[in-house]
Chain A
Amino acid sequence: MPGMEAHFRAFSLVDRITRLEAGGRVEGRYHVPEHLAAFPASLVAEAVGQLAAWAAMAVLAFRRRPVAGLAAGIDLLAPVRPGQTLELAAELESLDEEAVAYSGVALVNARPVVRLEHCVGPVLPVEDFDDPAALRQRLALLQADGARPGGFDGVPAPDLTGWDGEAGRVRRAMLHVPTEAVFFADHFPRRPVYPGTLLMHANLEVAAALTRELPRPVGGQGWTARRVSDVKLRAFTPPGEVLELQAAVEKLDAQAADTLVETRKGTRVISRARVRFVPEAGA
């Protein structure tokens, strides 16, 4: 089915579902295409979130689907390279007609690379976002033979301009959400929305730029993002939106640089999270 293939190739990061307990545990895998230049941690988190979303939609009979909302913590444990296979698992902690709560993990060669702790997604009518029949059919495929790996072509780097701020204290940039992008075909066909994980990626870029202005940590080459916590997405971002991203240092010592990242549209806070950076190994 060519239309369906294009739909899910655009931004679907689960190739196969190997275990699906109603309202409980779900396991699957995703092979990161070799031809990609990179596969950032935000996309690994997206893969775990998508796995949990499949489990939630199955229980809710494709009447409702979760969208990104809250995450108590996301541990960024190791980088993932194109060509590697993610073993994905999620545990639904609760699920009803309003929200799903879950935790999850992505592993490479049995080693955790990203761990999601207590994520909560509001649950909304599927029909507002996608074709329920297409989703149902896709889940059947994922549970049977699995999708053909390698279709995903990656996402464009965040378009950040207008950098300003105070060196080593606060850094700001404008994010230009693309008007058109391949991933909107899947996220979502009936209501294109900039994925929360891509917004998180852009926020991490701004925070990383800030940490490059910080004193070099003892025993480290620089700072690397280790944990994103207290994540909250308060609004959908449509294509073509221009958002102000800001990262500010909250606390700095020899072991960690704690930053607060925020996204604003005018005076409204669209998202907020804390990002902990730790010394990068390999000095």
Chain B
Amino acid sequence: MSNADITKEEILAVFPKVAATMADALGCDVEKVKLDSSLIDDLGAESIDFLDIVFRLERAFKVKIPRGKIVEEARGDLSESEFDQGGVVSAAGFERLKAYLNEVPAERFKSPLKVADIPRLFTVETFCKMVIRQQRAAAAAAGGGAAPA
């Protein structure tokens, strides 16, 4: 499933609830949560916060978000060994990641990139898109159209 066909309107529709959920999880003011905020660098998220955010988003949007989904989907048809070697993202993987995380400013992508550092790239918009993809997947599985935010 691609990120490219997700519209700005769809993103803005889910953003308020995503922002409120993140503010709750991170114990910060919702005004601090911007669409382009980096979760780690701007909002101070740590690894446990990612788990917290995913579970809160699941409950807020009533979708199932498999952990590790972002990296798995970014990898696409690349095998794990094509995507990274020894924990470092390969050149092909790097390009795939840049295309998939197209909401992340290009200057934030630094090569070499460790797989463990991929979450440093994630912005609030990354999670908005993840929610939208899961809503679409749930709607498709149910045989209906797009789910409301």
Chain A complexes with chain B: yes
Q: Does A269 belong to the interface (CB within 8 Å)?
A: yes
Q: Does B29 belong to the interface (CB within 8 Å)?
A: no
Q: Does B27 belong to the interface (CB within 8 Å)?
A: yes
Q: A99-B67, A269-B27 are in contact. Are A120 and B55 (CB under 8 A)?
A: yes
Tell which of A120, A230, A269, A272 touches B51, judged by Cβ atoms closer than 8 Å: A120
Q: Which residues of B, 41-58, contact A by the 8 Å Cβ criterion? A: 46-49, 51-52, 55
Q: Which residues of B, 9-68, contact A by the 8 Å Cβ criterion? A: 24-25, 27, 46-49, 51-52, 55, 67-68
Q: Does A70 belong to the interface (CB within 8 Å)?
A: yes
A232 touching B55, Cβ below 8 Å = no
Q: Which residues of A, 234-276, contact B by the 8 Å Cβ criterion? A: 234-235, 269, 272
Query: Bound complex: CA of A96 vs CA of B46, how far in Å?
Result: 20
A122 touching B67, Cβ below 8 Å = no
B48 touching A70, Cβ below 8 Å = yes
B125 to chain A, nearest CB (A): 23
Query: Bound complex: CA of A139 vs CA of B67, how far in Å?
Result: 28
Q: A118-B55, A269-B27 are in contact. Are A232 and B48 (CB under 8 A)?
A: yes
Q: Does A127 belong to the interface (CB within 8 Å)?
A: no
Q: Does A164 belong to the interface (CB within 8 Å)?
A: no
B27 touching A99, Cβ below 8 Å = no
Q: Which residues of A, 90-127, contact B by the 8 Å Cβ criterion? A: 96, 98-99, 101, 118, 120, 122
Q: A269-B27, A272-B27 are in contact. Are A99 and B51 (CB under 8 A)?
A: yes
Q: Does A193 belong to the interface (CB within 8 Å)?
A: no
Contacting residues, chain B, for A122 (C-beta < 8 A):
47-48, 51
Contacting residues, chain A, for B46 (C-beta < 8 A):
234-235
A70 touching B67, Cβ below 8 Å = no
Contacting residues, chain A, for B27 (C-beta < 8 A):
269, 272
Tell which of A98, A99, A234 touches B49, judged by Cβ atoms closer than 8 Å: A234
Q: Does A69 belong to the interface (CB within 8 Å)?
A: yes
**B contact face: mostly helix, strand, loop, or mixed:** helix
Query: Bound complex: CA of A235 vs CA of B52, how far in Å?
Result: 14
B130 to chain A, nearest CB (A): 15
Chain A 216-241, CB within 8 Å of chain B: the 1/0 string?
Answer: 00000000000000101111000000
Query: Bound complex: CA of A118 vs CA of B27, how far in Å?
Result: 19
B67 touching A69, Cβ below 8 Å = no
A234 touching B48, Cβ below 8 Å = yes
Query: Bound complex: CA of A269 vs CA of B51, how far in Å?
Result: 17
A69 touching B51, Cβ below 8 Å = yes
**Which chain B residue shows the least CB distance to A96?**
B67
Chain B 99-123, CB within 8 Å of chain A: the 1/0 string?
Answer: 0000000000000000000000000
Query: Bound complex: CA of A69 vs CA of B53, how far in Å?
Result: 13
Q: A70-B55, A269-B27, A272-B27 are in contact. Are A98 and B48 (CB under 8 A)?
A: no
Query: Bound complex: CA of A70 vs CA of B48, how far in Å?
Result: 8
Tell which of A96, A118, A230, A233 touches B48, judged by Cβ atoms closer than 8 Å: A233
B106 to chain A, nearest CB (A): 29
Contacting residues, chain B, for A120 (C-beta < 8 A):
51-52, 55
Contacting residues, chain A, for B47 (C-beta < 8 A):
122
Contacting residues, chain A, for B24 (C-beta < 8 A):
230
B68 touching A69, Cβ below 8 Å = no
Query: Bound complex: CA of A79 vs CA of B48, how far in Å?
Result: 30
Chain A 121-145, CB within 8 Å of chain B: the 1/0 string?
Answer: 0100000000000000000000000
B52 touching A70, Cβ below 8 Å = yes
Contacting residues, chain B, for A269 (C-beta < 8 A):
27
A-B contact pairs, 9 of them (CB 8 A): A69-B48, A69-B52, A70-B52, A96-B67, A101-B55, A120-B51, A120-B55, A234-B46, A269-B27
Residues of B at the A interface (CB closer than 8 Å) are: 24-25, 27, 46-49, 51-52, 55, 67-68
Report the 3 A-B pairs with minimum CB-CB distance, sorted nearest first: A98-B67, A234-B48, A69-B48
* Contacts beyond the supplied A69-B51, A122-B51: 9 A-B pairs with Cβ under 8 Å: A70-B48, A70-B51, A70-B55, A101-B55, A118-B55, A120-B51, A120-B52, A122-B48, A232-B48
